[in-house]
Structure 1
Amino acid sequence: MATKKIFFGLVLAVMTLTVLLGSCSAKTYKVGDYHGWTANYDMYYSWARGKEFHVGDSLIFNYDPNVNDVTQVSGGLKYRFCDSSSPKAVYKTGQDVVNLTEPGYHFFITSNHSLCTSGQKLFVLVVQEPPSKSRSSPISPPPPSNNKIVPVGKMYKVGDSRGWSVYNSYYYYRWSEPKEFYVGDNLFFQYNKDLNDVIEISDELEFRSCEPTSRVAEYKTGHDLIKLTKPGVHYFISLKTGLCQAGLKLKVTVRPLPQAVTSPNVPTIRLSPIERLNRWLRSFRPPPHH
């Protein structure tokens, strides 16, 4: 009888130790530290920079639930444009604990659009920690890169802050005229899908007359991302009654992608995925407030 008690006692001790060791490996981060979750230009990018987030870690968001929330969105575009439609999850308690259960990029914004555009948004890269490695293990460097430097495609939001909704014959001409578009760049059209659409056509005369007879493609989601895959002139109009005639039309000239430049005598700097995403997202941050 005494032997059984000792055996079960040892089993219980091992199970308890296992649970404690597992829980100690996970970390909890208070987002923004003592600032909490509030509108603050560039703070959350700086806060997350240098931290290593692993599956099993948790984020704590502290804020006023009367004016704020935490909205988890599904990708970089929704994060970039503060688009809280179709969120992955919404938290509203004011003291939210978000468990990071999956590896990959996780994007958080506030559904209060003015606060989001003022800088209240956060993205983190979560990695799966191998069981055989501890938190103190160094991260393996990226594999060696070749000596080609290839331009990265740019992202253009059509119409900038006014989107695809300006009824002015010269607005989109002036928007596109000083820009240089290359194969691989992207156009992002944002509009009310109940009132508008995007139609790509291939003919200059049809573009001028707003009477297309041949269509290359149609887009109707309200958040259309169009990749420019061919050089030449690309035409976009709206087919909703009267909108094209009112000026809702765009013409862009796409140049061939420049040939890769080789630099055998210059060391090549290869950015990690998180660094590339950082640069892309930082290029669309609002200007600092003085």
Structure 2
Amino acid sequence: MASRSPLHSVKLFVFLILLSASAFLKDAATATQFRVGGPLGWRKPTGFESETYNQWAGRNRFHVGDSLYFKYQKDSLLVVDKGHYDECNTMNPLSRFTDGNTTFRFDRFGYFYFISGQSGHCKAGQKLIVRVMVHPEMIPAPAPAPMSVPFVGSSPTSWSGSPDQPESSGSWRIGKTDYVLAIGLIGVLAWQMV
């Protein structure tokens, strides 16, 4: 058996380091942090906001690994179940945060319910439902559109020909293919440099 050169061992070591680092960086590269309430933060609505917390959540897409950042003063954040959310019940929350700077990371898909712990704030609209979707790489491709059937009869009086397009959340998400290509390119460059 032929012995390996020291250069080969160094290249293999560099490649293994890059591969290990990429496993840790993937979650960070694909996760997005959303700031709840924008620059004003998590606070009791005044009635003059352009949208409610739930309207904001409805126009964003949340995935496992993403997080919400809550900035608040003289308030608290409670993670509750649906029943407590519906009733604005602050007793026995799943989690309670009072530090004024809370980052909540989504570790599963499904629904998450948030309310203020301050008396009267939840009933005034300081509450949020977030639906966390399965990560994009896990979502199967949509089924092909059905074949069109010849139309017989009168024409419809109105027709909305364009499908609903999701609004951009202002965030950027790296796809699995882009991630693999980037790591591969880094590996090749590192291999050539050694």
**How much has 1:130 moved relative to structure 2?**
5.2
Q: Secondary structure at the match of 1:116?
A: coil
Q: What is residue 72 of structure 2 aligned with on the other side? A: 63
- Match 2:29 to one of 24, 29, 53: 24
Q: Flag structure 1 segments of 5+ consecutive residues without an equivalent.
A: 142-290
Q: What is residue 200 of structure 1 aligned with on the other side? A: none
**How much has 1:132 moved relative to structure 2?**
4.8
Q: What is residue 114 of structure 1 aligned with on the other side? A: 120
How big is each residue's C-alpha offset from its partner over 1:234-289, in whole Å with a ceiling of 9 and x where there is no partner?
A: xxxxxxxxxxxxxxxxxxxxxxxxxxxxxxxxxxxxxxxxxxxxxxxxxxxxxxxx
Q: What is residue 129 of structure 2 aligned with on the other side? A: 123
Q: CA RMSD in A?
A: 2.5
Matches within 5 A, 1:157-176: none
Asked if 1:93 is matched to 2:93, the reply is no
Q: What is residue 105 of structure 1 aligned with on the other side? A: 111
Q: Secondary structure at the match of 2:137?
A: coil
2:58 and 2:40 map into 1 onto residues whose CA distance is: 16
Which runs of 4 or more aligned residues in structure 1 lie more than 4 Å from their structure 2 counterparts after TM superposition? none
Q: What is residue 38 of structure 2 aligned with on the other side? A: 33
Tell me if the contact between 1:82 and 1:113 (Cα under 8 Å) persists in the aligned partners.
no
Q: What is residue 50 of structure 1 aligned with on the other side? A: 59
How big is each residue's C-alpha offset from its partner over 1:54-100, in whole Å with a ceiling of 9 and x where there is no partner?
A: 11110000001xx200000011x311221011111011110101011
Matches within 5 A, 1:171-250: none
Structure 1 residues 93 and 82: alpha-carbon distance in aligned structure 2, compared to 1, 3 A threshold: same
Tell me if the contact between 1:55 and 1:127 (Cα under 8 Å) persists in the aligned partners.
yes
Matched to 1:50, the amino acid is: R
Q: TM-score, normalised by structure 1?
A: 0.43
**How much has 1:24 moved relative to structure 2?**
1.2
Q: What is residue 80 of structure 2 aligned with on the other side? A: 73
1:47 and 1:35 map into 2 onto residues whose CA distance is: 14
Asked if 1:13 is matched to 2:9, the reply is no
Q: TM-score, normalised by structure 2?
A: 0.63
Q: Secondary structure at the match of 1:11?
A: helix
More helix as a share of residues? 2
More strand as a share of residues? 1
Tell me if the contact between 1:104 and 1:127 (Cα under 8 Å) persists in the aligned partners.
yes
Q: Secondary structure at the match of 1:125?
A: strand
Matched to 1:59, the amino acid is: L
Q: Count residues with an aligned counterpart.
A: 136
**How much has 1:13 moved relative to structure 2?**
1.3
Tell me if the contact between 1:70 and 1:111 (Cα under 8 Å) persists in the aligned partners.
yes
Q: Flag structure 2 segments of 5+ consecutive residues without an equivalent.
A: 1-5, 144-194
